[in-house]
A and B are shown apart, each in its own frame.
Chain A
Amino acid sequence: MLLAFFLLPLARLVGQGADPALYWRALTEWQYVSALLVTVALSLVTAVCAVGLAAVVAGWLAHRHFPGRRLLVAMLTMPVALPGVVIAFMMILLMGRQGLLADITDWLTGERVVLAYTIVGLFAGYLYFSLPRCIATLLAAAEAMDPALDEAARMLGASPWKRVRDVWLPGLAPALVASGAICFATAMGALGTAFTLAADIRVLPMVIYTEFTLATNLGMAAALSVILGVATWIALAVARSFGGGMSAAA
């Protein structure tokens, strides 16, 4: 079953775009290269920001007990299953022409700031779907850490910053790398958010979709898919080599 519906289609995909000329074009023509670069950069920044924010949240929540904690954790991790399109729509409500941001800036400065369709809006959307998964992974990792390690560092007189560097970062390193890699992979392949938000920004999944539907350029769509897949895989492989088991992340 896996063979017929997963491996064979993948093989077919590689085969379809197997014309070296197509790959050459995909990797030299500016419209494709720029899309690849934008996608990689956006995914990278998203992964770094999401992991950074999630690490702060997870570090603060771990081993801390207060009423309403379960509800808070639920709120922080539940959006993991929201599809990209919905997230994109929410970003429009937040930063679009009739969005909250526009209302606030209108009230403050008299000017309606619309960011939803810019790279900022896209980034916010990517961040939105990356955060819950990162928080869930890192919170689990932080909870699994021995609280006595942090206490030992405090007992020895370490400052908060020194504790972050010497206790938390080394302890969470595998989870940080793994969740960062998964974030990156997900962001690379995200179509839904871009489909609604990226009117002017060409990210790779959108280019593939356009090639496929509008230009009916199957060969190029296939070649770009393969490149997208390979780029994603390299990221995951790098993360693996750091010793962070992938299965722990997703």
Chain B
Amino acid sequence: MSVRAELRGVARTFADGTRGLLPTDLVLEPGSVTALLGPSGCGKTTLLRLLAGLARPDPGGAVLFDGRDVTDLPVERRNIGMVFQGYALFPHMTVARNIGYGLEARGVPRAQREPRVAEMLRLVRLEALAGRRPDQLSGGQRQRVALARALAPQPALLLLDEPFGALDAALRLALRVELAALLTALRVTAVIVTHDQAEAMALGDGVAVMEGGRIGQRGTPRDIYERPANRFVAGFVGTLNDLGEGRFCRPEALRPDPAGPLEGRVSAAFFDAGRTRLHLAAPGGGEWVLELEPGQAVPERGSALRLALDEKAVLRF
């Protein structure tokens, strides 16, 4: 069922003249999961709405599904599933009716609807809550209803707009694992919009980092982390230490070594779940961050620390 979706020269200018998205090309392979990552206002939600058909691209741009031009096809005829940022569950309908709504709208008779709704309820483990209304559910449950509703009509393309945005940190983590497993099992072409780099890295086979209305870099999570295309991408997907003269490195490239070539002064140490994150004042006035292995001694604040650098991991911009 999954589709190959393609954007060709798609741009979007808003009514007030601001450019939401600069002309963009993007191919989503069938069954792939792509994370659109970027700060707010970078155009990632705009791109998602263009894929969905909730917004029209500026003249000249085209959206293709399996090679077919769907630019003029409104959202209701694109066979997509979407999980909205605030979930947008219909407040006066039960969980079951919410989930079955897409089938209902497509004219599927009740007898065929019910088994599919039951299957979806099982998939997201909400069998016991089928008769509840959205306002009687917790945030995590709502999120799962929204997902089940989007998946029930077997969409060719699944779009998720900040699917965990309204949840607290612990729940985000649990649901992230759940969603990753589900997406792998379903093999549906999916796009996830998020501003959380850890989420993007965990969920996407591919990540597209967006900046100022365009895609700054596209690649596997590892590619983007280890070989970022520019300084913005590098800084957005992980911590970056400025070594001076256009040289940068990740925290992992630094380790304490009395014979190392670099020296910084310890300014703070944070203990987090078995690891210690060390902040150092760099000689050039900047700040370096590195992580100590479990069991390594934590140096005193204010003391000088010599560091070794993994030269292979140095990034240059």
Contact = CB atoms under 8 A, between A and B. Distances in A.
B110 interface: no
Interface in B62-117: 74-77, 79-82, 84-86, 88-93, 101-102, 105-106
Contacts of A148: 84-86, 88
B88 A65 contact: no
Contact of B84 (A152, A162, A166, A171): A152
Contacts of B88: 146, 148-149, 151-152
A169 to B, nearest CB: 10
A151 B54 contact: yes
B84 A151 contact: yes
Contact of B101 (A156, A159, A171): A156
A148 B20 CA distance: 19
Contacts of B85: 148
A49 interface: no
Contacts of B54: 151, 154-155
Secondary structure call for the B interface: loop
Nearest to B84: A148
Interface string A167-183: 10011000000000000
Interface centre among B52, B54, B79, B150 (most CB of A within 10 A): B54
Contact of B81 (A65, A155, A170): A155
A155 B90 contact: no
B130 to A, nearest CB: 18
A103 to B, nearest CB: 40
A162 B91 CA distance: 16
Contacts of B52: 155
B15 A157 contact: no
A152 to B, nearest CB: 4
Interface in A86-126: none
- A interface, how many residues as a size bin? 10 to 19
B12 interface: no
Interface centre among A148, A155, A162 (most CB of B within 10 A): A155
B90 A149 contact: yes
Contacts of B102: 155-157
A149 B226 CA distance: 40
B153 A156 contact: yes
Given A151-B54, A151-B75, A170-B92, A157 B153 contact: yes
Contacts of B150: 155
Contacts of B93: 166
Nearest to B155: A155
Contacts of A146: 86, 88
Contacts of A158: 76, 101, 105
A154 B15 contact: no
Given A156-B153, A159-B76, A167 B90 contact: yes
B82 A155 contact: yes
A156 B149 contact: yes
A152 B82 contact: yes
A57 B149 CA distance: 31
A171 B91 CA distance: 8
A158 B149 CA distance: 13
A154 B92 contact: no
A151 B83 CA distance: 11
A73 B76 CA distance: 30
B287 to A, nearest CB: 40
Contacts of A170: 90-92
Contacts of B106: 157
Nearest to A156: B102
Contacts of A65: 15
A66 interface: yes
8 contacts: A146-B88, A148-B84, A151-B75, A153-B101, A155-B102, A156-B101, A156-B105, A157-B106
Interface of A: 65-66, 146, 148-149, 151-159, 162, 166-167, 170-171
Given A148-B86, A156-B149, A170-B90, 16 more contacts: A66-B15, A149-B90, A152-B89, A152-B90, A153-B90, A154-B74, A154-B75, A155-B52, A155-B150, A156-B76, A156-B105, A156-B153, A157-B77, A157-B106, A158-B101, A166-B90
